[in-house]
Amino acid sequence: MDWVTEEVREVMPGRYLLVVTQDGHAKRTPLNEFKKRHRYAKGITALRNGCLLGGATVVGDSDEVLVVTERGKVLRVQVSEIAILSRMGRGGKLIQLEEGDRVVAVLPI
């Protein structure tokens, strides 16, 4: 997550990292929870163990995103409807998936 630098936090106050798991859970985490790391650091965790990333993007309260599944289901959602949680929070269910389907992309619009 080297792209979440001090400069990004200063230029984008009130911005969040939106994370959506493959099983359809979503959360927004303030960018200031992601501290700058050195080049060879282990990085910062934004998901619990066992959660697989479906997509992530930087968003603001007034933004909208498209959530796309492997089987072609698309959901347009207002970002303000998604819970703001800590880095380790699981998030709330954003999209109901059929068995065998999974989230494959999150696109800001």
What's the pLDDT at 72? Answer: 96
**For residue 78, what are the domain limits?**
6-108
- Asked if residue 1 belongs to a domain, the reply is no
The model carries a pTM of 0.79
CATH code: domain of residue 83: 2.120.10.90
The DSSP-derived string for 8-52 is HHHHSTT-EEEEEETTSEEEEEEGGGS----TTS-----S-TT--
What's the pLDDT at 9? Answer: 47
- Asked if residue 91 belongs to a domain, the reply is yes
What's the pLDDT at 90? Answer: 76
- Asked if residue 40 belongs to a domain, the reply is yes
- Asked if residue 72 belongs to a domain, the reply is yes
pLDDT digit of tens for each residue in the chain (109 aa)?
445 555 554 556 789 999 999 999 999 988 888 777 666 666 556 666 678 889 999 999 999 999 999 999 999 999 999 999 877 777 889 999 999 999 999 999 9
- Give me the number of domains the chain comprises: 1
